[in-house]
Amino acid sequence: MSIKDISYYKRSKYLLLIIGIQLFVINCLKDYNSLPDLPSYALGFEHVSRNGYDIQWNTGMKVSEPGWIVLNIFLSSLYSDPWILFACAGGIIILGHFRTYTHYSTIPWLSAYLFLCTIFCQSLYVIRQHIAIALCLLTIPYILQRKFISFLLVVIVAALIHNTAIIFVLAYWAYSLNVNRKFILFFICTACLSYFFLSHILMNIMTTYNFYTPYVDGEQTNATGFLISLCVLILALYSIPLKKMQNELKLFFIMSCIATCIGLGGMGVSATGRLNAYFTVFSILLIPHAVSYLSKKLQLVVITLVMFAYMFFSFSSISYVNGARNMEFLM
């Protein structure tokens, strides 16, 4: 690594540290009564703080995952205000993402920007799943080094926070595939099968298992997520030769392929976005890698287009705008 590369790495690391601290402060200062879901989390935390965990207490806590309950019990033993729960959740989410960007993104500031456009606002109130996603990101070294036991333990911990994280076990197997022309053909065939069968499979799972029944009547997933994932794949295939798809780059590409398949097959199913979040997050890492393979002039054009596109999608999303519009601060 040249002196110039070392200097760039240090500047990027400090920039992400500053951004991470700012976002953590926002997490700490948000008024949880002004965002969805958080009042019920606060109510459950206050009950645990006063009485300990009571399985008969009918507030929704009794159907929460064991890991979430344990986290509430532990934090309530330290401090009785729900603020500590939301601060801890925000810290885990931001640390998981920004540590990953520091180590695996070729353009860390661009990854941080994409995080702000796609994940941060929702992570302020969809905290259980975003903790699980952040934990899954921390398994990247174990996937690359083929340390299955370590990988599985972290995924289990994530699933104990939010049960949808169990789908991430696909990542370990998927990394064993080689990215070549046969893989592209396999991906196309899988996408076609997903289009015809995945929505039926997801609906059967949601109606069979009690944990997933709340998603049955939720907002249906449209084609936006699929189209974004597809555009990311096209950019990667255009800029990166298949023979260069090795190590972490191969992982990010395959995860984006899985995201595209799920997005295509799961259109119209409310749970698709929840399940696919564990794979769409890797586009935040794949895009900078893809851009790095372009010429300097083309890099500027593509980065500008990507930034405007993600800004447009983030602010045109109804769920995003509703969450951001209602957010207030304690101070």
What confidence tens digit (pLDDT) does each residue in 278-310 have? 999 999 999 999 999 998 889 999 999 999 988
Find the Cα–Cα–Cα–Cα dihedral 252, 198, 270, 30, rounded to 10°.
-20
pTM over 0.75: yes
Q: At what angle do helices 224-239 and 272-280 cross, to 10 degrees?
A: 20
Whole-angstrom distance, CA of residue 216 vs CA of residue 212: 7
CA 278 to chain centre: 5
Please answer whether residues 260 and 226 qualify as being in contact, where contact means their C-beta atoms are separated by less than 8 angstroms. yes
Indicate the residue type of 163: N
C-alpha distances in Å from residue 257, one per residue of 88, 148, 240: 32, 22, 15
Tens digits of residue pLDDT in 154-204 = 999 999 999 999 999 999 999 999 999 999 999 999 999 988 888 878 877
Please answer whether residues 83 and 28 qualify as being in contact, where contact means their C-beta atoms are separated by less than 8 angstroms. yes
Please choose, from the candidates 15, 200, 38, the residue with its C-alpha nearest in 3D space to the C-alpha of residue 127.
38
pLDDT of 168 reads 96
Tens digits of residue pLDDT in 110-134 = 999 999 999 998 999 999 999 999 9
